[in-house]
Structure 1
Amino acid sequence: MDRKLGGIEDTVKQIKEAGGKGCGYRCDLTDREDIYRTAKAVKIEVGPVTLLVNNAGYVCGRTLLDLPDEEIDRTYQVNILSHYATTKSFLKEMMKDNHGHVVTVASVAGLLGTYRCTDYSATKFAAIGYHESLFTELRAHGYDGIHATLVCPYFINTGMFNGVKPRLLPMLEPEYVAEEIVAGILTNQVNVVLPGSVRYLLPLKCFLPAKMCWALMYQIMQGPQSMMTFKGREVLQDQNANIPMTRSEKN
């Protein structure tokens, strides 16, 4: 599902050219009722969905006092609230056969708060909590045939974070991320952190004193500095008419 027809048509075309079968549906993830309507159409026209990938993302990239209220609302609607509607739409069918897979694409920004991302990081933290709670519910009720994979990637070179200049690690290429997500699904991995080396930095947040963590983040990793040059998708609008939403993406 996507918001603009151009992106949908391109994706379906690529799938068919690769020898597969594909159907595309236009859907506004900020509209819960539109999600439910589209999901119903998918189930009628395509059939039961056994693999759900919650993968839409939106970022504004401003400091808190410069964030318009409507931008905060949109970030929450796309990045986390839509997950509830999409999952509720397809989970019952998975539960009937105790078979399926739910994938949540969150972000490293959901593990470590990020400069100019008080809205974005918060929604990604929420996505992680949502996913882990859902995983717990499924296991507690005996649905061991429904797998759940949480994906937390670093910056991806898609244009969503255009202008950002990572200091510690280079941006990830979309093809690499896609391959790693598919591999994680096929092997039923619970957590996929990209690149894998990032997972070794995360424990420092728990074990080091807060002031030392800040010094590590600011002076060595230079995380805040990376986001200071953020421009977002708006500068790319004339180059790619199929971008789903300004400063947003289907990751």
Structure 2
Amino acid sequence: MSELLFQNPVERIISFIYDLLIFGLKSIFFILEAIYLSILPDRWRKEKDVSGKVVLITGGGGGVGRYLALNFAKLNSRVVIWDINSEAIKTTTDLLTSHGYSCKGYIVDISDKEQVYQSAQLLQNEIGAVNILVNNAAIVCCKPFWDLPDRVIENTYNINVISHYWTAKAFLPQMMERNDGHIVTIGSVTGLLGTYGCSDYSATKFALNGFHESLFTDLRAHGYNNVQMTLVCPYYINTGMFNGVRPRLFPMLEPDYVAERVVTAVKRNEVWCVLPNHVRTLLPLKCFLPSKMCWELMSRVIRGPDSMMLFRGRGKVPAG
């Protein structure tokens, strides 16, 4: 930026035209690449080998995390799970053992950075460097804004967003030293489109998407091209996390399907994965529709008896 300020007008114009040309050519290349990959049969897609890789899954005690652990284990990865619930950890490790796989579990409160750093060091000493980090753990309250207690809001942010800073700080430096590794961020469609009853959860997922994309840019700008980043944005998942939610536009996703798709995205080094894929068609509406029309449309779609989704529990209207 400072160099640009000292350029004369002609140099600025030339620099602008050059940047515009590069941007245009790269845009055409990536659009053609996306079209090619979209029509390429799955059996011809190149996939990396994850056997022998240390895979850490946060929130691995249940839901999608449990299926992720099983699916990576089936690929001969060395699976490690973090969870705050000791019984959930045992259930997952017993499940993998019953299938003939091994799994190491640690009780970790990922909202506590000291626990994260200490557990990360213990993991690296006992098992080795983490090759694939799957930031899967998250919580949701599912209440209108005015019914959200302060402590719930703080806890949602600490687990859904801030914890990603601690895990990335704990494991990314070794990935950068090797210029090799993979960080998976489990975001949400609610981080792309604000949703009723999710003012805490949706906002954390918006923040999470921004963190992930910015970290991706940092790594690429400094030449760490082999440290892969995958952002997964699934629709509502039938894990019990969204009890009381009855989606009407699309059915809830099953956790085994989501886990299978996440593993595939990792093997293909996909940068962005939206589940189901056709939800992407809704996203341009935010940009192309007039702002008032867009917000009015979305508010009508997600409320009332004919809404896209309906919560069984209804929030109280705040006094005044």
Letter in 1 for 2:163: S
Q: 2:303 & 2:139 partners in 1: Cα distance? A: 20
Task: Map Cα deviations across residues 74-94 of structure 1 (whole Å, 9 max, x no partner).
Answer: 000000000000111011111
Q: 1:106 & 1:141 partners in 2: Cα distance? A: 25
Letter in 2 for 1:222: I
- Choose which of 51, 54, 59 in structure 1 pairs with 2:135: 54
Task: Say whether residues 1:40 and 2:121 are aligned partners.
Answer: yes
Contact 1:53–1:105 (8 Å) recurs in 2: yes
User: How far is 1:230 from its partner?
Assistant: 5.1
Instruction: Find the counterpart in structure 2 of residue 222 from structure 1.
Output: 302
Q: Secondary structure at the match of 1:62?
A: coil
TM-score by length of 1: 0.87
Q: For residues 75 and 23 of structure 1, do their structure 2 counterparts lie closer, same or farther at Cα, with a shift above 3 Å needed?
A: same
User: How far is 1:215 from its partner?
Assistant: 4.1
- Aligned pairs, how many? 230
Larger Cα-atom Rg: 2
Task: Map Cα deviations across residues 12-50 of structure 1 (whole Å, 9 max, x no partner).
Answer: 122233333210000112211111111111111111001
Q: For residues 191 and 9 of structure 1, do their structure 2 counterparts lie closer, same or farther at Cα, with a shift above 3 Å needed?
A: same
Letter in 1 for 2:179: N
> Unaligned 5+ residue runs, structure 2?
1-81, 315-320
Q: 1:22 & 1:129 partners in 2: Cα distance? A: 32
Q: Secondary structure at the match of 2:103?
A: coil
Letter in 2 for 1:46: I
Instruction: Find the counterpart in structure 2 of residue 22 from structure 1.
Output: 103
User: How far is 1:65 from its partner?
Assistant: 2.0
Task: Say whether residues 1:147 and 2:228 are aligned partners.
Answer: yes
TM-score by length of 2: 0.69
> Unaligned 5+ residue runs, structure 1?
232-251
- 1:1-251 map, 5 Å: 1-219=82-300, 221-222=301-302, 225=307, 226-229=309-312
User: How far is 1:212 from its partner?
Assistant: 2.3
**RMSD in angstroms over aligned alpha carbons?**
1.5
Contact 1:30–1:82 (8 Å) recurs in 2: yes
Could you list the structure 1 runs, at least 4 aligned residues long, displaced by more than 6 angstroms after superposition: none
Letter in 2 for 1:110: G
Contact 2:237–2:253 (8 Å) recurs in 1: yes
Q: 2:204 & 2:296 partners in 1: Cα distance? A: 25
Higher RCO, 1 or 2 (CA under 8 Å, sep at least 6)?
1
Letter in 2 for 1:61: C
